């Protein structure tokens, strides 16, 4: 699909656009640029809920920058795909590191830009990594936050055929074989629980980067990491909300990004405190890397601290925290 330069001007392409705009705001501290970069009624779906106010993004960005002055982020991957001839959807994997200690964490922001302006965003941060680095109990860290809840597209039924159209709109039919493989893997392994089939989709020497800065290797490690999450919500299911693909040698070739929603009931193992028997709604993003038709790497993020805050709020044992969801 041909993309009009109006979608990413004045930069060279969407990859350049995302990397430079992010640096301008988060590294050069030009927080005011958000007013030019986001539409006034831009929508942001974060782990604590949905915001429809650009000023909230500005305030939230300021608070994050102020609270982590020694951290700087850079692009680890940018998976972008056209959405019509004047828009693109990017999946920006940010590696954020502490300049003095080397401590680090990851964020993935999926951003829908139309004619160079942000209109909708889905963002997840590995906040568990920060809590563990600081020696803070994750449940105590969750007490600083309040789960607001979702609105807009995130409350609608999952797209019927995400190959054709996701929450961000119709998508080009590119790299269909790889997209179908990812969808089949999520259906078979994640949702149907046929964990034996991991080796059908992944190479033996797979790598999974996931929350808490965990690095998981080999099919058996992948199985155990999935079980560890599912055991608290044993009947839960993953919905595929959006997909984009991109081939770029800068980022090791073909990658497929998936925005997913996990919907389950907290009635399993009490890894998040006393069970509630109530539903959870988890925003997550995965980025998959292919090599010769097989999956070799996945980065899978959700906000584990926000999930704890959501669960604690359902137990009515959560104090009211700041309203910043960005």
By 3-state DSSP, what share of the chain in percent is helix, strand and coil, each rounded to 5? 30, 40, 30
Q: Domain for residue 322, yes or no?
A: no
Question: Residue 1: what pLDDT?
Answer: 57
Q: 132: domain CATH number?
A: 3.10.450.50
What is the Cα–Cα distance from 195 to 219, expressed in whole angstroms? 9
Q: Domain for residue 215, yes or no?
A: yes
Q: Domain for residue 326, yes or no?
A: no
What is the Cα–Cα distance from 302 to 309, expressed in whole angstroms? 13
Q: Are residues 44 and 79 in the same domain?
A: yes
Q: Are residues 101 and 77 in the same domain?
A: yes
What is the Cα–Cα distance from 69 to 80, expressed in whole angstroms? 29
Q: Are residues 234 and 303 in the same domain?
A: yes
Quickly state the pLDDT bin for 319 (edges 50, 70, 90). Answer: very low
Q: Are residues 232 and 122 in the same domain?
A: no
Q: Are residues 225 and 119 in the same domain?
A: no
Q: Strand 169-170 relative to strand 104-114: parallel, antiparallel, unpaired?
A: unpaired
Q: Are residues 148 and 172 in the same domain?
A: no
DSSP 293: T
Q: Are residues 238 and 268 in the same domain?
A: yes
Q: pTM of the prediction?
A: 0.95
Q: Which residue(s) pair with 256 in the sheet?
A: 245, 288
Question: Residue 315: what pLDDT?
Answer: 86
Q: Are residues 9 and 148 in the same domain?
A: yes
- End-to-end Cα, the chain, rounded Å: 32
Q: Are residues 250 and 291 in the same domain?
A: yes
Query: Residue 30 burial by CB count (10 A; 0-12/13-18/19+): exposed, middle or buried?
Result: middle
Question: Residue 322: what pLDDT?
Answer: 42
Q: Taking 50 as the threshold, does the pLDDT of residue 320 lie above it?
A: no
pLDDT in tens, 279-293: 999 999 999 999 999
Q: Taking 80 as the threshold, does the pLDDT of residue 324 lie above it?
A: no
Q: How far is CA 177 from CA 89, 155, 181, 198, 290, in A?
A: 20, 29, 6, 17, 11
Q: Domain for residue 162, yes or no?
A: no
Question: Residue 326: what pLDDT?
Answer: 58
Contact 263, 279 (CB under 8 A): yes
Q: Are residues 181 and 60 in the same domain?
A: no
Q: What's the structural domain count of the chain?
A: 2
- What is the domain extent for residue 143? 5-152
Report, as an integer, the average pLDDT of 201-216: 98
Q: Domain for residue 189, yes or no?
A: yes
Q: Domain for residue 179, yes or no?
A: yes
Q: Domain for residue 286, yes or no?
A: yes
DSSP 143: T
pLDDT in tens, 84-140: 999 999 999 999 999 999 999 999 999 999 999 999 999 999 999 999 999 999 999
Q: Domain for residue 320, yes or no?
A: no
Chain centroid to Cα 77, Å, comes to 13
């Amino acid at each position: 699909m041909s993309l009009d330069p109006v979608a990413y001007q004045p930069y060279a392409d969407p990859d350049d656009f995302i990397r430079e705009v992010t640096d301008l705001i988060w590294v050069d501290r030009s927080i005011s640029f958000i007013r030019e970069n986001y539409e006034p009624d831009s929508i942001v779906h974060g782990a604590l809920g949905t915001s429809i106010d650009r000023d909230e993004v500005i305030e939230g960005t300021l608070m994050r920058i102020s609270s982590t002055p020694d951290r700087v982020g850079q692009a680890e991957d940018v998976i972008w795909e056209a959405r019509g001839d004047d828009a693109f959807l990017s999946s920006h994997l940010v590696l954020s590191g502490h300049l003095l200690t080397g401590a680090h964490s990851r964020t993935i922001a999926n951003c829908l830009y139309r004619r160079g302006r942000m209109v909708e965003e889905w963002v997840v941060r590995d906040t568990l990594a920060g809590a563990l680095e600081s020696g803070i109990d994750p449940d105590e860290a969750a007490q600083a936050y309040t789960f607001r809840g979702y609105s807009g597209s995130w409350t609608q039924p999952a797209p019927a055929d995400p190959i054709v159209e996701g929450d961000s709109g119709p998508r080009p039919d590119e790299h269909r074989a790889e997209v179908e493989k990812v969808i089949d893997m999520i259906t078979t392994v994640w949702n149907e629980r046929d964990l034996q089939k991991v080796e059908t989709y992944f190479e033996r020497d797979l790598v999974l980067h996931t929350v808490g800065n965990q690095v998981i290797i080999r099919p058996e490690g992948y199985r155990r990491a999935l079980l560890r999450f599912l055991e608290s919500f044993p009947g839960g299911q993953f919905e595929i909300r959006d997909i984009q693909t991109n081939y770029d040698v800068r980022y090791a070739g073909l990658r497929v990004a998936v925005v997913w929603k996990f919907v389950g009931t907290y009635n399993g193992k009490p890894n998040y405190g006393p069970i509630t028997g109530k539903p959870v709604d988890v925003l997550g993003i995965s980025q998959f890397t292919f090599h010769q038709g097989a999956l070799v790497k996945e980065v899978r993020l959700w906000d584990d601290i926000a999930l704890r805050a959501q669960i604690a709020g359902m137990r009515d044992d959560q104090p009211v925290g700041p309203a910043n969801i960005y």
